[in-house]
Amino acid sequence: MITTLNTLMYKGFGLNILSEISLPELTRISESIHKVDIVIEIDDLSKQWSEIDTIAQKRFVVKENKVMFEVPNTAIFSIQEGKKISVSPMIGVEEDKIRLYILGTCMGAILIQRKLLPLHGSAVAINGKAYAFIGDSGAGKSTLAAALIKEGYQLLSDDVIPVYLSKDNIPYVEPSYPHQKLWQESLNEFGISSSGYRPLFDRETKYAIPVHSDYSSESLPLAGVYELVKTESNHVEIRRIEGLGRFQTIYQHTYRNFLIPRLGIQEWHFKESVKILNRIEMYQLMRPHSGFTAHSLVSLVLSTIKEEEIV
C-alpha cells in the first residue's frame, strides 16, 4: 500500500521536493523552506490516460511539456513542466515499486523538462571533483562506484546523474540521494549481506543499499566521464573517446533520451553537450563479459585521473 502524508519536504537531485508520498530514500528538510521546486501528488489519472492512450496507443505520451506513462499493474504517472509529478497507483501495488519509478523515470523527465542534462550512470566524488560512470544496463556502473566507495571516495548519484552548467559554463553534478542499486553478486564480492534489504523487483536479486556515511551532498564540477562496455577481451582496457564519438556517447547515455526529440529539444541537448564536452575528459572502460573486474577498473580509473591532474 502507498503511504500518504499531509506532505513532507525532501532534498534530492539538487531540488526541494514537497511530496504526498513517503520518500525515505531522500533527505528530509524543514517544511518551513518556502522554495518548492517539485510537487509530488496522488491523483486519479485513469480517465485522462484512457483518452490520451486511445489516440496515441503508446506507453509514453508526450504532449507539449507533459510526459505521461503507464507501468502495468503499478501506476499511471504524469510529469508536468518540470514542476509536478502526479501518480495514480493501481490497487494493491507495493510502495517500493512506485518510488522506484518516481526516483527514476519521473525524475529523469523532470530534469529534462527543467533543462538539466541527466546521464544514466553513477557519479563519484574523487579529490573534490565529480566523475561519471555511464553505460548500458548491466555494464557494471554501480558496482564500479561501490568499489570506489570502498577505497574511501563518496557517492554523488546512482542511476540518474543530474548535470547542470554554471554561469561560467562549468558542468556540475548535483547529488541525487544516498542509495545505490547493487546486484547480489556484487554484494557478495564486497562482503555485504542482503538479509536486511528488499529486492527492487519480485524475483530479482538487485537491492537498494543506503550509503549515508559514504555520500557527498555537495555539488561538484564534472571532470570526467567513463563509459563502461563489455567486450570479448579477457582483460580490462581504457581508451580515450575522441571526436564525434564524444557526442554520440553523451546522447546514447542521456537518461530516457527518447524524450529529447519528442519534447523538441534536440538543439538544446546538442548545445548543452558541446559546453559540457569542452570541459571534460571522456574515456571508454572495456571489461570482459564475465568475472568480477571492479577492482582492476578502479586502478585504471584512479591512475588515469592522477595522470590528468599532473598534466
Half-sphere exposure of 240 (CA within 13 A, CB side): 9
134 and 255 in a single domain? The answer is yes
48 and 159 in a single domain? The answer is no
130 and 278 in a single domain? The answer is yes
Q: How many domains, in total, are found in the chain?
A: 2
Mean of per-residue pLDDT scores for the chain: 91
- What is the CATH number for 226? 3.40.50.300
Span 175-202, average pLDDT = 88
Res. 311: pLDDT tops 80: no
Q: What is the pLDDT of residue 156?
A: 97
Encoded amino acid at 116, one letter: L
194 and 210 in a single domain? The answer is yes
3-class DSSP assignment, residue 135 = strand
Q: What are phi and psi of 24, to 5 degrees?
A: -65, -20
85 and 179 in a single domain? The answer is no
Report yes or no: 249 and 113 within 8 Å, Cβ to Cβ. Answer: no
Range of the domain at 126: 117-310
Q: pLDDT digit string (tens) for 105-135?
A: 999 999 999 999 999 999 999 999 999 999 9
Name the more confident of 200 and 25.
25
127 and 236 in a single domain? The answer is yes
Indicate the residue among 81, 113, 145 that finishes a domain. 113
Q: What are phi and psi of 270, to 5 degrees?
A: -65, -50
Give one DSSP letter per residue of 204-227, joined into a string: --EEEEE-GGGB--S-EEEEEEEE
Q: What is the pLDDT of residue 3?
A: 54
Indicate the residue among 113, 130, 157 that finishes a domain. 113
97 and 168 in a single domain? The answer is no
Q: What is the pLDDT of residue 54?
A: 56
Report the predicted TM-score, pTM, of the whole model to 2 decimal places.
Answer: 0.92
